[in-house]
Structure 1
Amino acid sequence: MSRRLAFLTAAALGLAALAGPGMAGAAETPWQNAKGASARLVTAVDGTGTLGEIPAGLHIRLEPHWKTYWRSPGDAGLPPALDWAGSTNLGTATLAYPAPHRFQLFGLETYGYETEVVFPLTLPVAQPGQAQHLALAATVLVCSDICIPANFSFTLDLPAGAATPDPAAANLIDRYANAVPADGSAAGLAFGTVAASTAGPNGGLRIEATAREPFETPDIFVEGAPGDAFAAPRITTSEGGRKLVAEIDRIQAAADPPAALAGSPLVLTLVDGPRSVEAEATVGAAVAAAPDAAAWLSILGVALLGGLILNLMPCVLPVLSLKLLSIIKLGGVEAGGRTPRRQRLGLLATAAGILASFLVLAAGAVGLKAAGASVGWGLQFQEPVFLAAMAVIVTLFGCNLLGLFEITLPGRAMDAAARASGTGRPEKDGLAGPFLTGAFATLLATPCSAPFVGTALGFALSRGPFEIGTIFAALGIGMALPYLLIAAVPGLARLLPRPGRWMVWVKAVMGLALFGTAAWLLSVLAVQVPPAAAALVAAVLVAIGLVLWLRRRGGVAIRRTGTVAAVGLALAAVLLPLRFDRSDAATPQAASAIPWTRFDRAAIPGLVREGKVVFVDVTADWCLTCKVNKLLVIERDPVAATLGTAGMVPMLADWTNPDPAIADYLAAHGRYGIPFNAVYGPGAPDGILLPELLSTETVLDALKQARGASS
């Protein structure tokens, strides 16, 4: 269309030269004003003459900080809407879109124009040589702090006389018509291979393009199925800047689960300064985007360190009791003459339990991604059945530490363990216990994201199965490092206290600590289901303890009956939440000196433009690290006092229950676990991301930086 307009305007200029001075100019309407914008309708000629089409333009001028939108506006906005009803001698009018600009703010991406734009129009003359009456009602959405539909109404008459051109109007229309993306031959741009990619939680694209002259500031806009949305491209160039490869994540899918991109049609627009090209493409088969060796070594190191730090996080504190008793037992056994080989086997079994659990989590993440579901670290704690099951397991571990029952392996399993260990007492020294301890430690480590864990998870969960499996394995190895270290150097066990009667008291204390963990799990459950349901689960757990106590004191028949009853009660506790509707759960109203508001991602840009500072806290009742951050930093002065001052907007994003808006917000920042905190303000409109473990100085510095010049 731009070539046709260029030809028409060139012809108009030629007629102007032949006509000489003194001829009339272009037809145009007066400027009409609306909030944020003014507009007019202008044509390159003031009569129809013998033209079959009239070159024209919808000319819009925008006030500072206001913008309007392209045909695909991005995360927000609407394209212009034109109504030609009331026009005469007009065929089907068409509107073209000059190459857009990308606007990025607060994780939202929109495409459009600022300052000034002319939308080129082609106005067919139904009966050439006859007068044409134009009646246009145009609605153009313009946005700054707020979005307002600007309504304009134009009428313009082109008489049947000579099509006298106006060079200024023709040049204006032609300049924007030439900015409409075409096939790229004149600009020297061309698309190459377009293939699906495993990048991003919803898949992505890998696009190649070439340029006759080196690329300078390239950008690519992707238009796919309605509902699909794509992030800004990650572009690398080669061959002296004449070839580019763009990796583009799909951040929102049209369907749930997302349909495969391979085989789907797209419209691609590549813009590089004044140059642009537009092309239709069909996505090829998926390819995996592999990072380079340096990136791999870096991210593997981050994952190992993050896994190691998990041992020190509040989320893992309840299970440290099991670790402590296991290691103390090893030290005492060594003093009693047990061989180092047996010690190593127990420690390696615990490490294997940790690693196996991480690999199971990796397999689950891969499966969820393939099914199009949300993936993240600790999301299982949003499920009431999982919480009830964990409460049952923790209660059973506590009862075991108190001596109410022993976990033994049956029959052939005990014989196999005896052969592996070289001892005739497999029921006491089997490897199942240490293995389950490692697995249990991993389960309780998943509610919270330790330092470096969030970085590693963000890398893994945005990529394919291989990357997910490798990074999760590295996290598991990192968490298992203390066990592996003692297994490699058995002499370290001698540094621990010798076993004695004091261990009986320690076991009792640790058992009570595990019961406290069960109470915490039930408190989280009470937020997701009606409190009465959580209370009923708690009653069943108490009943399990009583049954195990009676079983311990009874004969063979009572022990068998007690075992069946305990198993039945455990199953009942796990299944009870299924009988209750999550929507009936009570919404907790935690007392706080901070005036928290509900998280609203879309409101952040307007608040920042008003000069306010927004502090976002993504938290959950099941995230113990979040609780520690609140207790030690956020809810204490001077941070709490600062968040309560005028101009501060603290936003609370509660992720205790599933919330797609919060999940999308985290994914937009490459995060898949919590805690997550960010600060926005005039001095940091794109946000300042804070570390997982907060300090008073870190938060106050971020708030000060976000204030900018007003601080």
Structure 2
Amino acid sequence: MYYAGRTLWVGLWQIVLILLAWLVAASEVSLSATTVEKELGLESGDWTQSAAQLDSLLLSTGEETAGPSASPWVRHSQGAVRLVSTVTGVGTSHSILLGLQFALQPHWKIYWRAPGETGYPPTVDWGGSQNLAKTRIAWPAPRRFSFQGVETAGYEGEVIFPITAILERPGVPLMGHANIEFLVCSTLCVPQRAVLDLLVRDGPAESSPFIHLVERSAARVPGDGRAAGLHLITATTQPGTKDGLIEVAVEAELPLAAPDLFIEGHNNVRASLPQISQRSRDSRHVVLRVRTRSPVAVGALVTLTVVDGVRALEATVPLGTLVADHDTIFEIGIILSLAFLGGLILNLMPCVLPVLSLKVMTMISHGGAERLAVRWSFVASAAGVLFSFMLLAAATITLKATGAAVGWGIQFQQPLFLSIMIIVLTLFTANLWGLFEISLPSWLTDQGGGVRTYGYTGAFLTGIFATLLATPCSAPFLGTAVGFALARGPVEILLIFMVLGIGMAMPYILVAIFPTLAVRLPQPGPWMIWLKGLMGLALAATVVWLLTVFAVQVGETTAILTGAAMVTVIGILASRLHPPLRPLPVAVVISVGLTIIAQVGQERETLSHQGLWLPFNENVLAHHVANGRVVFVDITADWCITCRINKALVLSHREVVKRLQDVVAMQADWTRPDVGVSAYLTRFGRYGIPFNVVYGPGARQGIALPELLTAEVVLQALETAAGRV
């Protein structure tokens, strides 16, 4: 396979390098200038030129001699190394920023923390230091070196490793004593050692001449990628193969020029030179594919570093499953069954309760009507549901083709969609309260037994709005089906969304097949006016809820003005009716809603200061998991009704809250579009919320929880992640 053809060659090459390194290291002290010239391939007189180049390099990187904030340079044949401080005094801080600075001759390199197939990184022993509790070294983004099929990662020229030094006693001078061991390589490799001593005196922590050098290098240390406009979308592996295969999808705000990928973790995984298997037309979305010496298990925790010029990102993530190129008929059949069940159960989710009034009014309006009229009316409602799902599928395919984030319910992240829904549902509310009637042409309505029923257009629109308002919910089986669809192509997306629509439309289809269910209801009469009023209250509550979500998106002022405009519309429509107090219930409901909106910002601020939830950050998450902590992650949004149900019934449960106080609880808000959150969901094969996952010593890859939580499920997952089960 990939590595089989060159394993023997690589082994022989490493033996040659070791022998050469030993010979050079053993003779370096006694070598004359002529011998050094021969070893380095320099012609007569070139050694003087090389030394001059080193002097020039040292002068360009700072004073050659030791200063008040730097150790002396320690020279060797391939360059020099020293220790610098960003401050002239320790001040009163608990830590100071140092820098380990290498200045290398042309064509010589040192290695990154994960060197690749050969070499080893610099190591620092701080034994003998004074007032130094511990240190933390940061690694700037590396570059790749390929030589005869051997892949390594490291640095050429000048590199500074930022080092955070934690002091034992703030305000007391720091005496840093560093024993450095490193390997310098060109066409041959030379092990080197250096002893560096740096004194940072007491006194004010004023900036030293080296602060800009170290901070510039610190800026090259990969973070989560957001500052660089890079986002990790998916990281997957394909099990069951002799050689491992890993694919990583990356999205960038600016076009990617030459992206590279470095992989760490999982038994020192060794990866081939990455190949770009997919690239979008605008080069903002690429998929990098690498082969590994051995298979990497699904769920294995790996650290991925993506570098594109001066941009870089780093993330520690569990590997998902790389979908095979072809799915069996059995697998597709299972997914379609889950899609049907998910759509059917969606009718029972809390998101559809606001449109229950539309369904009820559809039923009772057919009381006493002819069966044929009832049948075609409910067929129209089912068609509205299917049309909506096909519309969602088409929009999803379009967004996916452009490289945009896709997911279930993400239209509620768009202020334009929310404003349209607020206006339309306000008009529906006014209609149910009898403030105005929608007059349709006679050819759009039908007569059944002398009783005028809803027209087919009204029934069709009922199905559309039932679908749109149901999308903030995630029902059981729905997430699996949607995740499968969004990981495939347009055909699969259309097929699965169509089956989802059939599942949700099934109640309408059943009434169309058995119209007696609606015909036997009492005929419309005075009682229906009161029922319509109650159903209107349900829609008014939906408007209030949408205004609270709208307030988070565009601000409280805009939301309040929008709500006031809706109240004005209701008032204008009601002014034509008598008595004048008839619109009072409407105004009261909307006014209460505006009061709720005014409290949204304060409520969200209060919740953020409760101390239980920390902001979601994948790097912080990986740090806690690496340190053996249990971490509970909650992805939520203000427009997600199921999320609110989980929060009210489960995450606010006394036993659950007590247990979460003993772990790290992190929460991500997906109310507004967030590429980072979308990428995190995608790596788990999820495209909708709610989504909860638990990490810990017993579940480093994470335990994904079901959409509908129970206290028992959460507590059991926390125990499993802690390794107690």
| Corresponding residue of 1:325 | 361
Alignment partner of 1:386 is 2:417:
yes
Give TM-score scaled by structure 2 length: 0.60
Q: Measure how far apart 1:683 and its partner are.
A: 1.2
| Corresponding residue of 1:294 | 330
Alignment partner of 1:622 is 2:639:
yes
Provide the C-alpha distance between the structure 1 equivalents of 2:429 and 2:422, rounded to a whole number of angstroms. 10
Provide the C-alpha distance between the structure 2 equivalents of 1:203 and 1:300, rounded to a whole number of angstroms. 24
Q: Give the letter for the 1:398 counterpart.
A: T
Q: Give the letter for the 2:722 counterpart.
A: R
Cα distance, 1:702–1:496 mapped onto 2, change above 3 Å: farther
Deviates more, 1:584-593 or 1:648-657: 584-593
Contact kept? 2:393, 2:493, Cα under 8 Å:
yes
For each residue in 1:98-156, what CA deviation from the matched residue of structure 2 results, as whole angstroms up to 9, or x when unmatched?
459xxxxxxxxxxxxxxxxxx9999xxxxxxxxxxxx998878999xxxxxx9986699
Provide the C-alpha distance between the structure 1 equivalents of 2:534 and 2:107, rounded to a whole number of angstroms. 83
Q: Give the letter for the 1:388 counterpart.
A: S
Q: Measure how far apart 1:270 and its partner are.
A: 2.9
| Corresponding residue of 2:104 | 84
Cα distance, 1:485–1:230 mapped onto 2, change above 3 Å: farther
Alignment partner of 1:589 is 2:589:
no
Q: Measure how far apart 1:227 and its partner are.
A: 7.5
Q: Measure how far apart 1:379 and its partner are.
A: 1.2
Residues 181-200 of structure 1 correspond to what in structure 2 (within 5 A)? none
| Corresponding residue of 1:341 | 372
Contact kept? 1:613, 1:707, Cα under 8 Å:
yes
Alignment partner of 1:529 is 2:560:
no
Alignment partner of 1:698 is 2:713:
yes
Contact kept? 2:636, 2:667, Cα under 8 Å:
yes
Q: Measure how far apart 1:551 and its partner are.
A: 3.8
SS at match of 1:409: coil
Q: Measure how far apart 1:476 and its partner are.
A: 0.8
Decide which of 355, 359, 373 is 2:386's aligned counterpart.
355
Cα distance, 1:544–1:643 mapped onto 2, change above 3 Å: same
Q: Give the letter for the 2:104 counterpart.
A: W
For each residue in 1:649-680, what CA deviation from the matched residue of structure 2 results, as whole angstroms up to 9, or x when unmatched?
11111111122221111111111111111111
Decide which of 478, 483, 489 is 1:458's aligned counterpart.
483
| Corresponding residue of 1:307 | 343
Q: Measure how far apart 1:258 and its partner are.
A: 4.9
| Corresponding residue of 1:191 | none
Decide which of 492, 498, 501 is 2:526's aligned counterpart.
501
Alignment partner of 1:607 is 2:624:
yes
Cα distance, 1:436–1:425 mapped onto 2, change above 3 Å: farther
| Corresponding residue of 2:470 | 445
Contact kept? 1:231, 1:248, Cα under 8 Å:
no
Provide the C-alpha distance between the structure 2 equivalents of 1:229 and 1:358, rounded to a whole number of angstroms. 39
Q: Give the letter for the 1:325 counterpart.
A: M
SS at match of 2:693: strand
Q: Give the letter for the 1:216 counterpart.
A: K
SS at match of 2:671: coil
Q: Give the letter for the 1:376 counterpart.
A: G
Provide the C-alpha distance between the structure 2 equivalents of 1:223 and 1:541, rounded to a whole number of angstroms. 44
Q: Measure how far apart 1:430 and its partner are.
A: 1.9
Contact kept? 1:594, 1:643, Cα under 8 Å:
no
Cα distance, 1:494–1:385 mapped onto 2, change above 3 Å: same
Q: Measure how far apart 1:325 and its partner are.
A: 2.0
Provide the C-alpha distance between the structure 2 equivalents of 1:298 and 1:248, rounded to a whole number of angstroms. 32
SS at match of 1:708: coil
Contact kept? 1:206, 1:248, Cα under 8 Å:
no
For each residue in 1:527-551, what CA deviation from the matched residue of structure 2 results, as whole angstroms up to 9, or x when unmatched?
2222122111111111111111224
Alignment partner of 1:435 is 2:455:
no
Contact kept? 2:409, 2:472, Cα under 8 Å:
yes
For each residue in 1:69-96, what CA deviation from the matched residue of structure 2 results, as whole angstroms up to 9, or x when unmatched?
xxxxxxxxxxx997533xxxxx734789
Give TM-score scaled by structure 1 length: 0.61
Cα distance, 1:222–1:93 mapped onto 2, change above 3 Å: farther
Q: Give the letter for the 1:638 counterpart.
A: E
Contact kept? 1:358, 1:472, Cα under 8 Å:
yes
Provide the C-alpha distance between the structure 2 equivalents of 1:26 and 1:445, rounded to a whole number of angstroms. 74
| Corresponding residue of 2:403 | 372
Cα distance, 1:538–1:298 mapped onto 2, change above 3 Å: same
Contact kept? 2:236, 2:247, Cα under 8 Å:
no
Cα distance, 1:671–1:156 mapped onto 2, change above 3 Å: closer
For each residue in 1:357-407, what CA deviation from the matched residue of structure 2 results, as whole angstroms up to 9, or x when unmatched?
111111111111222221111111112222121111111111111111222
Q: Measure how far apart 1:611 and its partner are.
A: 2.8
Cα distance, 1:496–1:296 mapped onto 2, change above 3 Å: farther
Provide the C-alpha distance between the structure 1 equivalents of 2:17 and 2:690, rounded to a whole number of angstroms. 64
Contact kept? 1:136, 1:154, Cα under 8 Å:
no
Provide the C-alpha distance between the structure 2 equivalents of 1:12 and 1:536, rounded to a whole number of angstroms. 75
Contact kept? 1:309, 1:479, Cα under 8 Å:
yes
Cα distance, 1:141–1:527 mapped onto 2, change above 3 Å: same
Contact kept? 1:304, 1:478, Cα under 8 Å:
yes
| Corresponding residue of 2:429 | 398
| Corresponding residue of 2:704 | 689
Provide the C-alpha distance between the structure 1 equivalents of 2:483 and 2:286, rounded to a whole number of angstroms. 22
Cα distance, 1:660–1:261 mapped onto 2, change above 3 Å: closer
Cα distance, 1:318–1:680 mapped onto 2, change above 3 Å: same
| Corresponding residue of 1:270 | 291
SS at match of 1:677: strand
For each residue in 1:332-352, what CA deviation from the matched residue of structure 2 results, as whole angstroms up to 9, or x when unmatched?
224xxx1x2211100000000
Residues 12-31 of structure 1 correspond to what in structure 2 (within 5 A)? 26-28=23-25
Cα distance, 1:685–1:229 mapped onto 2, change above 3 Å: farther
Q: Give the letter for the 1:644 counterpart.
A: Q
Provide the C-alpha distance between the structure 1 equivalents of 2:236 and 2:702, rounded to a whole number of angstroms. 27
| Corresponding residue of 1:37 | none
SS at match of 1:333: coil
Cα distance, 1:324–1:215 mapped onto 2, change above 3 Å: closer
Q: Give the letter for the 1:26 counterpart.
A: L
Contact kept? 2:234, 2:249, Cα under 8 Å:
no
SS at match of 1:458: helix
Deviates more, 1:469-478 or 1:347-356: 469-478
Cα distance, 1:405–1:8 mapped onto 2, change above 3 Å: closer
Contact kept? 1:94, 1:121, Cα under 8 Å:
no
SS at match of 2:676: helix
Deviates more, 1:626-635 or 1:519-528: 519-528
Q: Measure how far apart 1:595 and its partner are.
A: 1.2
Q: Give the letter for the 1:343 counterpart.
A: V
Cα distance, 1:372–1:8 mapped onto 2, change above 3 Å: closer
For each residue in 1:189-248, what CA deviation from the matched residue of structure 2 results, as whole angstroms up to 9, or x when unmatched?
xxxxxxxxxxx99899999xxxxxx9634335779955758899xxxxxxxxxxxxx999
| Corresponding residue of 1:476 | 501
Alignment partner of 1:632 is 2:649:
yes
Q: Give the letter for the 1:708 counterpart.
A: G
Provide the C-alpha distance between the structure 2 equivalents of 1:11 and 1:597, rounded to a whole number of angstroms. 50
Provide the C-alpha distance between the structure 1 equivalents of 2:530 and 2:404, rounded to a whole number of angstroms. 46
Residues 167-206 of structure 1 correspond to what in structure 2 (within 5 A)? none
Provide the C-alpha distance between the structure 2 equivalents of 1:11 and 1:378, rounded to a whole number of angstroms. 58
SS at match of 2:291: strand
Contact kept? 1:139, 1:152, Cα under 8 Å:
no
Report the count of equivalent residues: 512
Identity %: 42
Cα distance, 1:682–1:230 mapped onto 2, change above 3 Å: same
Provide the C-alpha distance between the structure 2 equivalents of 1:488 and 1:229, rounded to a whole number of angstroms. 58
